Amino acid sequence: MSDTETGVAAAPAPMHLRVRGGTTLSGSIDVKTSKNAGVALLCASLLNQGTTTLRRVARIEEVNRILRVLDSMGVRHRWLGDDGDLELTPPERLDLSRIDAEAARRTRSIIMFLGPLLHEYPEFELPFAGGCDLGDRTVEPHMVALRRFGLSVETSHGCYHASVKTEVEPPRSIVLTERGDTVTENAIMAAARFPAVTTIRNASCNYMVQDLCFFLERLGVRIDGIGTTTITVHGRGEIDTDVDYAPSEDPIEAWSLIAAAIVTESEVTVGRVPIEFVEIELACAEEMGLRYSCGEEYLAANGRTRLTDVTVQPSRLRAPTDKIHPMPFPGLNIDNLPFFALIASCAEGSTLIHDWVYENRAIYLTELNRLGAQVRLLDPHRIYVDGPVRWSGTEVVCPPALRPAVVLLLAMLRAKGTSVLRHVNVIHRGYEQLVERLQKLGAEIEVFWDE
């Protein structure tokens, strides 16, 4: 079956952007739904024998890759109109022998198939997880958690070879060795189908984990402790429910858009911001001199997540007293950290940024120097950023990592003159129509392809 017939877009040709910088933005822009919650819910749909309908799913490349994998296993999907509503219908039995290995290897999210699949198959294989090139990240915390449910995994020839003990006593309590988002989600999905009560300690309570829990509650799985580091899952042996669920908005996109306003010294209102998940970022930026205001709070379509509209005002920035570093929620989000390299470049003074999670990402942020920034790499995890700087347009090839790629695009909006950002397809992994939406705010960006 062709990509056109399945409704999943083929890999696009290399795309480039020509940016005329130095333009002030204005107006308002709404945040789209969460990339990371969306892919988690697609994986969690494998737990359900009924039809799963997800509302306003971001039509991004990461979603396309997961859909390609699900299609190859026999899951039927169809888009319901142009608003991102997506319907998933599982087959009577998944066909894992036909899994789309190419699509699977291009997404790190494939590892979250382990939790759902271990309930149905005594043995199965999954291709190695991929995604952004951010250095080595061990999958051992996943294995430690899922081993308690009878799963054992060997790796060879580019695949995870999984086997599951048919007779295993469900764990009453699991302590995660890493408070990771996908690790927590895998453990929750494994526990959801065990007809027992499982307590997961040192759990992530980040936005995508909360959306996954809210979704599972709609499927009839009782979950206590949502939003805390101790989650108790009352599992069900079988889930066969027609469910309709809307994931909440994306705090990483929200901060990306707020950062665009900050660095272009513009007054912009960013609507539908999941405020609970960007409060630390706003507090850090406020310490640096950011002026902003928040509107009245209201609920997301999931009925649980608090949203607000944030209006950013032109501000004179200064370097923070302390270093900026990420922490598990409720700390500063790991994916929002790269935007502070850009913000710090617009601030008076020196800022130390410590990206302790990834080995490679801080290195990519030195590409800002091509545009006039002063980013000094201290080691693979730490950079010093001096500002303010004189930005100037130039040509840069996108790094193979989502957030640093967007950071470069936003820097080009600030830089005087014309810049070219090449091979921007990586941005489509996590942002839907970002260029078109920035254009509506007044950004002068031209899309072009190789002749």
Domains, the chain, with CATH or none: 3-32+249-449 (3.65.10.10), 35-245 (3.65.10.10)
Question: What token pair was written down for 125?
Answer: 């294989």
Q: In a 3-state reduction of DSSP, which class is residue 391?
A: coil
| Rounded CA separation 295/120 (Å) | 47
Of the ranges 96-105, 248-257, 392-401, which is most confident? 248-257
Confidence of residue 187 (pLDDT cuts 50, 70, 90): very high
| Rounded CA separation 392/232 (Å) | 53
pLDDT single digits (tens) 23-49: 999 999 999 999 999 999 999 999 999
pLDDT at residue 53 greater than cutoff 90: yes
Asked whether the CA dihedral 374, 265, 362, 425 is positive or negative, the reply is: negative
| Rounded CA separation 437/291 (Å) | 23
Q: Calculate what percentage of the chain has a pLDDT beyond 90.
A: 79
**Of 44-53, 57-66, 201-210, where does mean pLDDT reach its minimum?**
57-66
Nearest alpha carbon to residue 182 among 274, 113, 279, 280:
113
pLDDT at res. 135: 41
* Residue 402: how many other CB atoms lie within 10 Å: 26
pLDDT at res. 6: 38
pLDDT single digits (tens) 276-311: 999 999 999 999 999 999 999 999 999 999 999 999
Confidence of residue 264 (pLDDT cuts 50, 70, 90): very high
Confidence of residue 132 (pLDDT cuts 50, 70, 90): very low
Q: Calculate what percentage of the chain has a pLDDT beyond 70.
A: 95
| Rounded CA separation 285/283 (Å) | 5
Confidence of residue 108 (pLDDT cuts 50, 70, 90): confident
pLDDT single digits (tens) 137-175: 457 888 889 998 999 988 777 788 899 987 777 788 999
pLDDT at residue 134 greater than cutoff 70: no
pLDDT at res. 252: 97
pLDDT at res. 451: 58
Question: What token pair was written down for 430?
Answer: 């996590």
pLDDT single digits (tens) 220-262: 999 999 999 999 999 999 999 999 999 999 999 999 999 999 9
The CA distances from residue 300 to 22, 273, 318, 330, in Å, are 34, 9, 34, 19
Confidence of residue 129 (pLDDT cuts 50, 70, 90): low
pLDDT at res. 136: 43
Q: In a 3-state reduction of DSSP, which class is residue 325?
A: coil
